[in-house]
Amino acid sequence: MAKSPETAHFPGKAPLDAYGNGGFRFADMSHRGSILCLPSGIWEWDAADASGITADSLARAMQEAADMEIFLIGTGDQHVPLAPALRDALREAGLRVDIMATGPAARTYNILLGDQRKVGAALIAVENVR
The pLDDT tens digits for 37-69 are 999 999 999 999 999 999 999 999 999 999 999
Q: What is the mean pLDDT of the segment spanning 28-44? A: 96
Compute the average pLDDT of residues 65-86.
97
Q: Which CATH class is domain 34-123?
A: alpha beta
Q: H-type helices in 83-126, by residue range?
A: 84-92, 102-114
- pLDDT above 70 as % of the chain: 94
Mean pLDDT of all residues in the chain? 93
| CA–CA dist 63, 52 (Å, integer) | 18
pLDDT in tens, 1-20: 434 335 778 999 999 999 99
Instruction: Decide if pLDDT at 122 tops 90.
Output: yes
CA torsion sign for 56, 57, 60, 61 is: negative
Residue 128, pLDDT score: 83
Predicted structure pTM score: 0.93
Torsion of CA 85, 89, 90, 96, to 10 degrees: 80
pLDDT at residue 3 in the model: 40
User: Beta partners for 19?
Assistant: 24
- Map out the domains of the chain as residue ranges: 34-123
